[in-house]
Structure 1
Amino acid sequence: MKKRPVVKKGQTGDSGAWRASPGRSRGTPRPRYSALRLVSKGFTQGDWAKVWRQHDVEPRYDVVIIGGGLHGLATAYYLAAYHGVRKIAVLDKGYLGGGGSGRNTAIVRSNYLTPEGVRFYDRSLKLYENLAGELNFNVMFSQRGHLTLAHNDGGLRTMRWRAEVNKTQGVDSEVIDPDEIKKLVPSMDTSDRTRYPILGALYHPPGGIIRHDAVVWGYARAAAGLGVHLHQDTEVTGIDVHHGRVTGVRTTRGNISTATVVNCTAGWSTLISEMAGVEMPVTTSPLQAAVTEPVKPFLDTVVVSGSLHVYVSQTDRGELVFGASVDPFTSYSVRGSLEFVEGLASNVLKLMPGLSKMRLLRQWSGLCDMTPDYSPIIGPTPVGGFFVDVGWGTYGFKAGPVAGEAMAECIVSDRSPEIIADFGLDRFRSGRLVGEKGAAAVGH
């Protein structure tokens, strides 16, 4: 990886609202507002400087990134901050973070099943741990621990298998018994009288939750401060390819000439790739989630049950966030369903009967791109200059930082870094699949 450029004293971003501190090496601007000014503006509702400003779509960019979510913004940031590429456009047909980045349940972990997956997601977790300092933005990362429950002997064997794989990669994971689970989650029914008795769990202390919109805003602000153009409400209608190489992108706001295009979309990843003549072995399915009324904090860890297809965590505001596996059909619909709520409530109460009186406030849905081996597709494609960062299924948010870091290096060096080499598109032709279904039965 190339040395990170130093932002000189006085260098400002496009909005003019930020400046770099002397000696800061990562290019992330710091705010000019003093504490007194912040308090004053809070009381007076004064005018705030824009974090990033609108730009006209220019006729040429060095790199065009399609998708203004976490992966697209992270790629733009690392290209600008680590590799000095500044002529970058991020295009989104809606608003920044309006897709999967704003619809997920923001769980972060690295206790996967394959050595390739564990190394990859652990690097992302390490980046998340330092992200607030990196971006000078509070991303509200709470490493409260992650529990994956086992309800039968087969599940317990899988947890022990995952624990050993994790340990060989230096990841903190261990199998704990019901008594230890009860200490971590007193509200859990760990008795042997339930329909789905809990035999043990894979405990992953570094796992936790993070504020997804804060992560998006942090990357967007930092990228814009380094000169990246963020174009919202800009839909891509075509990708020009001549003699096997990308030459440009067509949008609803004009045509762009470029030699490098990155597909960082979810839900529409196959449609974008087809514009460049690249087929993707991806299917798209909805994933639903729901949230309750806020209550006094009582759940300190993230709890996942693959057998019951449910997971639950509690936010810093006291709400319980629930989710399940993807809907059992392919669709681009993001409507919620009563069937999901009924099944979710039934399964949650099997784990925590004491939640029966809580009221469900709202539910939502997002789109998940699923690959045959439940692992992403990231890296170059047969079309020169066309890169993909797609197929993340239900765990793309966990991978945002490392995917952006690796994709930036891939674009600059024109080869896949070792950390993503196993996730290339060519694995589906060679049969070198990276099977992660055993660690993603419920997606979290």
Structure 2
Amino acid sequence: MPFSLLKYGLKNDYPFEQDADLPVPSELKSSYDVVIIGAGGHGVATAYYLAKYHGITNVAVLEKGYLGGGNTARNTAVIRSNYLTSEGVRFYSESVKLFKELSNEFDFNIMYTERGQLTLAHTDATVRAFRQRAEVNKHFGGRTELIGPQEIRELVPTLNMNPAHMPVLAGLWHMDGATARHDAVAWGYAKGATQRGVELHQLTEVTDIIVEKGRVTGVKTNRGTIQCGCAIQAVAGHSSLMAAKAGFRMPITTYPLQAMVTQPVKPFLDPLVSSSALHCYVQQTSRGEIVFGGGSDPYPLYNTRSTLELKESLLAHAIEMFPFMANLRLMRQWAGITDMTSDYSPIMGLSPVENYYLDAGWGTWGFKATPICGKTMAELVASGGKVPALIAPFAMDRFDVFRQVNEMGATAASH
């Protein structure tokens, strides 16, 4: 096998895809059928599904920075569907199914790896809550179960079963938990969309939204004004700011969310391990690095800076879970900005402005929703504003009629 692989790699006629790069940027047209604001995973996924499955290609994706350079590049790439509510579980379960087929869909390896996620329970109340979550997940086709200490030891032999004097009583074992390369997901969607005629314009900032008689008619950018039939905002932590340009408010507060990674070490941790009581989750990448993440910062801020305070508290909790990690060196630290709603569920669908559609409120789980978000938002646009049933519970007017979809506590590291 090694010799055949070497022979294949040294072949002169090694297959190479000539159009691997994205198209050279073009001048903005005066109008488009659809303008998508934001070229993160959600924005380019929506463009891809519009072009491939609905034949809508007169689409411009506008990005003030670069492709996938916002929260898509600033997350820890966890994929899961073990949420609290039936609405949330149905939605994220569909996303997991799409993720599993994305490499084949793109003919492009996104390095999807099913590893399972283990969430630790340290109290009787948490055990009861996990039992309920497991049953809801099973009901909608997810592979989730409550397991005991012995099974946890077998899954993660290096775990301290009594971290911070809080014994591990049980665990929520989510077999569908996975990871994927976030940049590969963004590039795969962007490549597929642009090959079908969608235009991707980086370094193109939307400075204002043009609304006439209650309907969006165009957007102003740093490169000129564009007319459009409809617009979609998919700008993550800047959602409330962009909505303000369209003339309405959103029930969103933006907080920084930090993570960090160590030097690479030999593989020892396959599952993703988290503890909401310790506000910490730990995973090992395919390169051997150890990734640490936790809850959002406790104050609103539109900034992606890192802080020593969070680093110290997060690493202290991680070391409680895996004491030997005290000997590792930290390699880098980063942050994103999360658009949090009061019920910890997204806002998708219609807005107070006609033909202006919302993809917002993702908080800390936007990456894992990328495929299903793109698919359903494309269905919304292609149908002329008919909201798909899967995202109907996430309408913004749920806050007016008190029909929140409460996912508080469903995070890997509770906020």
TM-score by length of 2: 0.95
Matched, 1:273 2:243: yes
Partner secondary structure for residue 248 of structure 1? strand
Matched residue type, 2:175: P
Partner secondary structure for residue 147 of structure 1? strand
**Following the alignment from structure 1 to structure 2, what is the Cα–Cα distance between the partners of residues 252 and 304?**
43
Matched, 1:205 2:175: yes
Compared CA separation, residues 243 and 279, structure 1 to 2 (3 A):
same
Equivalent residue in structure 2 for 1:107, among 78, 100, 120: 78
Matched, 1:158 2:115: no
Query: Which residue matches 2:232?
Result: 262
Deviation (angstroms), 1:273: 0.9
Query: Which residue matches 1:313?
Result: 283
Query: Which residue matches 1:364?
Result: 334
Query: Which residue matches 1:288?
Result: 258
Contact 1:76/1:408, CA 8 A, preserved across alignment = yes
Matched, 1:68 2:36: no
Query: Which residue matches 1:22?
Result: none
Matched, 1:86 2:57: yes
**Following the alignment from structure 1 to structure 2, what is the Cα–Cα distance between the partners of residues 41 and 139?**
18
Partner secondary structure for residue 352 of structure 2? coil
Matched, 1:342 2:348: no
Contact 1:237/1:251, CA 8 A, preserved across alignment = yes
**Following the alignment from structure 1 to structure 2, what is the Cα–Cα distance between the partners of residues 357 and 153?**
33
Runs of 4+ displaced beyond 4 Å: 34-42
Matched, 1:419 2:390: yes
Matched, 1:240 2:210: yes
**Following the alignment from structure 1 to structure 2, what is the Cα–Cα distance between the partners of residues 38 and 294?**
35
Compared CA separation, residues 293 and 230, structure 1 to 2 (3 A):
same
Compared CA separation, residues 157 and 184, structure 1 to 2 (3 A):
same
Matched, 1:131 2:107: no
**Following the alignment from structure 2 to structure 1, what is the Cα–Cα distance between the partners of residues 360 and 298?**
20
Deviation (angstroms), 1:157: 1.1
Contact 2:274/2:412, CA 8 A, preserved across alignment = no
Deviation (angstroms), 1:153: 0.9
Contact 1:112/1:162, CA 8 A, preserved across alignment = yes
Compared CA separation, residues 338 and 53, structure 1 to 2 (3 A):
same
Deviations 1:132-169 (A, max 9, x none): 00111100011010001101111111111111111111
Deviation (angstroms), 1:49: 5.8
**Following the alignment from structure 2 to structure 1, what is the Cα–Cα distance between the partners of residues 267 and 22?**
33
Matched residue type, 1:252: N
Deviations 1:170-197 (A, max 9, x none): 2110000111011111110125x85121
Q: Which runs of 5+ in 2 are unaligned?
A: 1-8
Equivalent residue in structure 2 for 1:385, among 355, 359, 368: 355
Compared CA separation, residues 294 and 39, structure 1 to 2 (3 A):
farther
Equivalent residue in structure 2 for 1:121, among 85, 92, 96: 92
Deviation (angstroms), 1:52: 2.5
Compared CA separation, residues 364 and 242, structure 1 to 2 (3 A):
same
Compared CA separation, residues 38 and 290, structure 1 to 2 (3 A):
farther
**Following the alignment from structure 2 to structure 1, what is the Cα–Cα distance between the partners of residues 276 and 196?**
42
**Following the alignment from structure 2 to structure 1, what is the Cα–Cα distance between the partners of residues 105 and 217?**
34
Deviations 1:94-126 (A, max 9, x none): 001000000000000001000000000000000
**Following the alignment from structure 1 to structure 2, what is the Cα–Cα distance between the partners of residues 185 and 357?**
19
Query: Which residue matches 1:11?
Result: none
Matched residue type, 1:171: G
Q: Which runs of 5+ in 1 are unaligned?
A: 1-33
**Following the alignment from structure 1 to structure 2, what is the Cα–Cα distance between the partners of residues 420 and 409?**
11
Contact 1:174/1:203, CA 8 A, preserved across alignment = yes
Query: Which residue matches 1:58?
Result: 29
Number of residue equivalences = 406
Instruction: Tell me the percent identity.
Output: 51
Deviations 1:229-274 (A, max 9, x none): 0000000011111111111111011110112000000121111111
TM-score by length of 1: 0.89
Query: Which residue matches 2:150?
Result: 179
Deviation (angstroms), 1:50: 2.8
Compared CA separation, residues 49 and 208, structure 1 to 2 (3 A):
closer
Compared CA separation, residues 145 and 86, structure 1 to 2 (3 A):
same
